[in-house]
Structure 1
Amino acid sequence: MFPSSTLKLRDELARGERSSREVTEHCLARIEEQADLGAFVHVAENAMEAAAAADAAHARGEIGRLHGLPTAFKDLNEVAGMPTTYGTAAMPTTVAERDHSLVARLRSEGVVILGKTQVPEFGLSSYSENLVAAPSRNPLDPTRSSGGSSGGQAAAIAAGMIPLGPGSDGGGSVRIPAAACGLVGLKPSLGRIPSDVLDGYNDPMGAPKLAVSGPLAHDALDAALLLDAMRGKDHYLPLLQGSYPERLSDLKIGYSTHSPFEPVYEISLAPEARDAFTQGLERLGQRHRVEPADLHYAEDYPETFAAVWTNGLKHVPVSDDSLLGELARDFRGRAADRSLEQSLQAGSRLKQIAADFVRQWSAFDVVATPAMASIPPSIGHYTQSTADVDYMLQCQYAPYTSMVNVASVAAITIPVGHSKEGLPMSIQLISPRSDEGLLLALAAQIQL
């Protein structure tokens, strides 16, 4: 039986009390036993060999921050020797010749890579369903979604297939599946993970780069452990292991249920989401000053965000548009019809909106919102109608996440309760000053 804490498991591996082969064998068995969840789209054939190599390196005294720990990567990241589908049937599946920079970073810390996990097509959606593999299902209720785009990762962690794992977040893609599966999900600020900004901080149209990498884990300490490994620098775990979480008090926390999508969509909280939000605020209020935040968001945010979010689709080297899912095909067509001037204007406008977000949020140390507006939707919920309905349903389920990516700041989702069906419900905390340590410490306080 393994400890529920990945940090404890890591320490047991470091002390030689467990072998990587033992842990890897256990995780591979869990993957096989729970294949019906659809979390994995490819399982590494050489995982036990990699675990044996990790044990041999340990015997030589070569120990990384995550030495011998099994993990996996989204099917958006290239892993040398493994196929990459990007969740699409419209591009040929290729076997990667080299690791993505984040994969290489974590491989250098001693992880054992068990395979690739399910994603939506091109990572576009808040649900991990596509046309190339079975959907990723929620381990807590397999009729429901595990979220997206890091849905396979979250399902794998929540089901005990891997102890923790990196995700990526371009509009909520770490925080949405974390909330769906009862995990801590951290979206770091842009640039906190060096591999995210190898080609700069803006997209080609001048908009803030939306996607960053972030940890998915069972608790704040495990998230800090993975965050340090992703950065290659010890900082957040020592911070949390010290007295900081206990000393942290009297923050000014503003709360709001206002969403920037309200100008175009009806945004409403299910009773479970509202109850969880209240529970989270009550826990925060035991140590901090919690007060309502009067926030006013730009009326043109929905259309501006959508333009920037989908703009890159027109450059994807698709071999056959007819093999795309409806959402990707529809939004790729709209992106292709958008002129260069319109794209540049959208990028410039989104930077203005981002500055206004940060200005308003900076009246507080932290801004609290609900994580999601309801329990996770059922498999197939989003794809029953048109691309526009699909997108609307996503915005209604996750109305508070994309604005954080636009603002380039840090945010975290933390489980705080359960619905009557036993599904986890979470709160989101935003740091306008991009203080990931503060957010992790608050998560530690809430989870006590």
Structure 2
Amino acid sequence: MSEPRRVSAVTDDALGTLDTVGLVAAIQGGEVGVREVVEAGVARVRSVADDLGAMAYTAYDRALVESRDPRGGFFAGVPTVVKDNCAVAGMPTREGTDAWVPRVERADGDFARMYLATGLVPLGKSQLSEFGFSATAEHPRLGPVRSPWSLDHPAGASSAGSAALVASGALTIAHANDGGGSIRIPAAVNGLVGLKPTRGRLAQDKTLREMPVRIVSDGVITRSVRDTAAFFREAEHVYRALSLRPVGDITRPGRKRLRIAVNTTGAGVGATPEVSALTLETAALLEDLGHHVEEVAAPVPPGFRDDFLLYWSSLALVLVRTGRRQHGRSWDPSRLDHLTHGLARHAAHRLHRLPGAIRRLRRSTALLAQHHASYDVTLTPTLGAVTPRLGHLDPTQSYETVIERLVEWVSFTPLQNATGDPAISLPLATSAEGLPVGMMFGAAAGHEAVLLELAYELEEARPFPVLGR
């Protein structure tokens, strides 16, 4: 088997091999300046841009200007990107498609306002799959987003661009959001930490707040647990979700031994033998660490897969039918990929079932809460199989081919999008091909601290792989 073609942006510059928290300490200690940190970030992103296809829009000059007088906040001067489905003032929002000519945003959306208030400096927008519908970003004209671990493999989706940049070492932290697994999936594919928070934990743009089932959550992708923990601590200083217990300042493993359920069956499509074996190896590690681990049936409501697919496809139907009104005369639906059109058709033929699907998805919150009354954490693989090669989920194929393959690969992550509960993917395993395999841990609503404490413990017991070291 040939060695995968890998790309690393890590070099001897102001970023070095530091994670975000380490970079903040270096800036605050005067070891490096904000200007040289931002310059290094720009240079690194440029060095891998062609190989990875990770950038949707670049704002390098703006970032260099901001580096002269960065806004305040713990992360002041740390370079980042914002996923290109989130409004940032002065930048267009393209949503991973070329079906219209995007306008420059006049103001930050609610999430970007909160995100950038922590001091992060945006170098631009990261690429995603069209509207975030696919689990890989392989647009027929915009090109694929590749994993730096192997340029023959996709970087996952829909937060593919953000994950590729962080995994390559070009950045230490990047924005991601998750409506069916798109923080956790690219984290799993690229050997990163990806925490989907509890519904309502962070500020969210108006269109996402108004969804019938609020399946999307924003967050970040990082290379270390402490970076993710630090982000949620700092975000809470800007935006406090009063209905949820605070995450707080989580800096080390927890002492409590947890009741952990494990399953490898997902939403009707079980994991492959390789991924199942890796999951059980992770379960054995947890037992070695003193946790009580028990294999259980998947706590997935009957019909969940069909209900989630119908709801997911209804979002495509709305986008297709309202495109002209939203985007004006430049709107050209013929440029949408086969997956978007196929999802819209799927919903249009089943609209009479949508109200029932929405009711059942809403009820899934209570069903999973019953499960978490018995178990503190649930372990599953993040994905049902190892990462496929580019082309496996190419959206120029027929809708029927792509959706069948998507359902087989993405059978574990959507549950927490429906319930609103938190879940984290950690890079605890490696495939026979030498690529990262993520393990996912879910907890009850508001219990991000439990997941972060466990993540610290697992990172310590089995250090995460990092490119460029």
Same fold by TM (over 0.5)?
A: yes
Instruction: After superposition, give the CA deviation of every residue in 1:11-36 in whole Å (9 maximum; x if it has no partner).
Output: 22123321111111111111121122
Select the residue among 240, 257, 260 that pairs with 2:267: 260
Aligned-residue offset at 1:210: 0.4
> Which is worse superposed, 356-365 or 21-30?
356-365
The answer as to whether partners of 1:225 and 1:237 remain within 8 angstroms in 2 is no
CA distance in structure 2 between the partners assigned to 1:334 and 1:372 by the alignment:
24
Name 1:282's counterpart in structure 2: 284
> Which is worse superposed, 82-91 or 322-331?
82-91
Instruction: After superposition, give the CA deviation of every residue in 1:182-201 in whole Å (9 maximum; x if it has no partner).
Output: 001001010111326x5786
Backbone CA RMSD of aligned residues: 2.1
The answer as to whether partners of 1:180 and 1:425 remain within 8 angstroms in 2 is yes
Q: What stretches of structure 1 move > 4 A for 4+ residues in a row?
A: 198-202, 233-237
Gaps of 5+ in 1: 58-62
Name 1:6's counterpart in structure 2: 20
> Which is worse superposed, 118-127 or 300-309?
300-309
One-letter code aligned to 1:253: I
The answer as to whether partners of 1:253 and 1:290 remain within 8 angstroms in 2 is yes
Instruction: After superposition, give the CA deviation of every residue in 1:350-401 in whole Å (9 maximum; x if it has no partner).
Output: 2223432332343211111112222211112112632122122122122110
CA distance in structure 1 between the partners assigned to 2:405 and 2:441 by the alignment:
23
Select the residue among 73, 90, 112 that pairs with 2:99: 90
One-letter code aligned to 1:105: M
Name 1:399's counterpart in structure 2: 411
Secondary structure of the 1:209 match is coil
The answer as to whether partners of 2:266 and 2:298 remain within 8 angstroms in 1 is no
Secondary structure of the 1:372 match is coil
Secondary structure of the 1:102 match is helix
CA distance in structure 2 between the partners assigned to 1:200 and 1:376 by the alignment:
29
Name 1:344's counterpart in structure 2: 355
Name 2:424's counterpart in structure 1: 412
Name 1:60's counterpart in structure 2: none
One-letter code aligned to 1:301: F
Secondary structure of the 1:404 match is helix
Going from structure 1 to structure 2, the CA distance change for 1:164 and 1:88 (only over 3 Å counts) comes to: same
CA distance in structure 1 between the partners assigned to 2:35 and 2:119 by the alignment:
13
Paired residues for 1:45-444 under 5 Å: 45-54=61-70, 63-195=72-204, 203-204=211-212, 208-231=213-236, 232=238, 236=247, 238-241=249-252, 245=253, 247-262=254-269, 267-271=270-274, 273-285=275-287, 286-295=289-298, 297-316=300-319, 317-318=322-323, 319-339=331-351, 341-383=352-394, 385-444=397-456
Secondary structure of the 1:168 match is strand
Aligned-residue offset at 1:424: 1.2
Going from structure 1 to structure 2, the CA distance change for 1:194 and 1:79 (only over 3 Å counts) comes to: closer
One-letter code aligned to 2:276: R
CA distance in structure 2 between the partners assigned to 1:369 and 1:409 by the alignment:
15
One-letter code aligned to 1:66: F
One-letter code aligned to 2:171: I
CA distance in structure 2 between the partners assigned to 1:6 and 1:284 by the alignment:
27
CA distance in structure 2 between the partners assigned to 1:344 and 1:20 by the alignment:
51
Secondary structure of the 1:71 match is strand
CA distance in structure 2 between the partners assigned to 1:5 and 1:391 by the alignment:
37
Aligned-residue offset at 1:157: 0.3
Secondary structure of the 2:118 match is coil
CA distance in structure 2 between the partners assigned to 1:321 and 1:236 by the alignment:
42
Aligned-residue offset at 1:151: 0.6
The answer as to whether partners of 1:38 and 1:135 remain within 8 angstroms in 2 is yes
One-letter code aligned to 2:215: L
Aligned-residue offset at 1:233: 6.0
CA distance in structure 1 between the partners assigned to 2:208 and 2:166 by the alignment:
31
Instruction: After superposition, give the CA deviation of every residue in 1:324-357 in whole Å (9 maximum; x if it has no partner).
Output: 1000011123334444x53222211222234323
> What is the TM-score when the length of structure 2 is the normalising length?
0.86
One-letter code aligned to 1:186: L
The answer as to whether partners of 2:233 and 2:249 remain within 8 angstroms in 1 is no
Select the residue among 4, 8, 32 that pairs with 1:18: 32
Name 2:54's counterpart in structure 1: 39
The answer as to whether partners of 2:153 and 2:388 remain within 8 angstroms in 1 is yes
Report how many aligned residue pairs link the two structures.
427
Instruction: After superposition, give the CA deviation of every residue in 1:134-170 in whole Å (9 maximum; x if it has no partner).
Output: 2110000011011001010000100112110121000
Instruction: After superposition, give the CA deviation of every residue in 1:84-119 in whole Å (9 maximum; x if it has no partner).
Output: 211112222221111121111122222111011110
> Which is worse superposed, 275-284 or 108-117?
275-284
Gaps of 5+ in 2: 1-11, 241-245, 324-330, 461-469
Percentage of pairs with the same residue:
29
Secondary structure of the 1:84 match is coil
The answer as to whether partners of 1:71 and 1:113 remain within 8 angstroms in 2 is yes
Going from structure 1 to structure 2, the CA distance change for 1:396 and 1:338 (only over 3 Å counts) comes to: closer
Instruction: After superposition, give the CA deviation of every residue in 1:187-227 in whole Å (9 maximum; x if it has no partner).
Output: 1010111326x5786634xxx31001122111111001122
The answer as to whether partners of 2:429 and 2:439 remain within 8 angstroms in 1 is no
Aligned-residue offset at 1:444: 0.5
Secondary structure of the 2:366 match is helix
> What is the TM-score when the length of structure 1 is the normalising length?
0.90
